[in-house]
Structure 1
Amino acid sequence: MEVAVIKYNAGNVQSVLYAMERLGAQATLTDDWETIQKADKVIFPGQGEASTAMKYLKERKLDQLIRSLKQPFFGICLGLQLLCEHSEEYDTSCLGIFPIQVKKFPPLDKVPHIGWNNLQNLQSPLLKGLDESAYVYYVHSYYATVHPKYTIATSHYINDFSALLQRDNYYAMQAHPEKSSVTGEKILTNFLNL
């Protein structure tokens, strides 16, 4: 199985590549259109800042490519946020796959949200074999609001937020599955088996 990991000057790429290797998938870090189009699965990882990442995508027309893909596609962390409509981080227009706003956590508690948190309201083949005792690892200051149609799991930190999203062939996760032990490995395995 060929997995394209989209290169767009965001962090956290190496841990995703290692995770794919552990699961027996052949993963390539690339911003090449043809390689991405031909891949069986596409992963959109990330740690970083929304406006800089969107600028890189637009310069290479990867924003257009991402919106046209038909194979299973998985956005991780910043990758989830960029698949949404708009981010409060530097007032950034994003890809619009999900008609959802990305907001900054209010400074009522420690921000960013760093650490382990459980998944709630699970509802997708991506989460097969998991229940609400499943914990995943988060590092984020911004969150996607909950959508009645596209949110497939939630978590709570200061307020409820979308832990995972799905629309057609697009899946996305705010936490880092590649750093989330057995739960994360299960989610990545489910994605590879879609």
Structure 2
Amino acid sequence: MAPDSVGDGNRSGGLYPRRRTRLLDGSSVFRSARKQKLREYLEEKKGKASFEDEFNEDEFNDDDDYHRPMTRAEIESYNKQIQETGGFDVDVPPEVYNTGVIRPDPDFDKNPWKLEKLNRCSRMAVDVYNKKYKKAEYEFMRVLKVCSMMAAGYVHYITFEAKAEGAAPTCFQAIVFAGIAEDNIKVIMSRPKPSS
């Protein structure tokens, strides 16, 4: 089938080329070889190509670097977790690759450079909180958990402990942008963790 539009053009006239070319019969041709592989796999297994369909990844292991897109059920679960936790507690399967996704980082404490960066971000978040609310002076203790999203650096959703003098440790949450440059750190939000 001949395409009904130029394959390297775009719909909006903007900077980003279209990712697929729509054919006259209504189907699409994907440019990405990885997506094409998945499309062929789904056509073979399901009789139709749909990224939302579930599939057995163990049968699709001819590429060790292969990352699959989220299924419809995973997208719905992810969106629900974002709504319920604000991005601080999300679960994304490790083999899923989607850009702009907040991912948990269970091994953040095994990388000394990353741990130091998260500690620095958390200290800045405590300082911002202390300046905004002068009720008590909290001091950062330790990072408990982190989820991150790539964005010209990282946006970290950090859960950490801080302590005010004479009080028990308080669990805090902070959203902090850590840019590529070492000194480019901006606290977006800092608060005590809301009780469930």
In the superposition, the TM-score normalised over structure 2's length comes to 0.26
Larger strand percent: 1
- CA radius of gyration, larger in: 2
In the superposition, the TM-score normalised over structure 1's length comes to 0.26
- Flag the structure with more relative contact order, 1 or 2, with Cα contacts below 8 A and sequence separation at least 6: 1
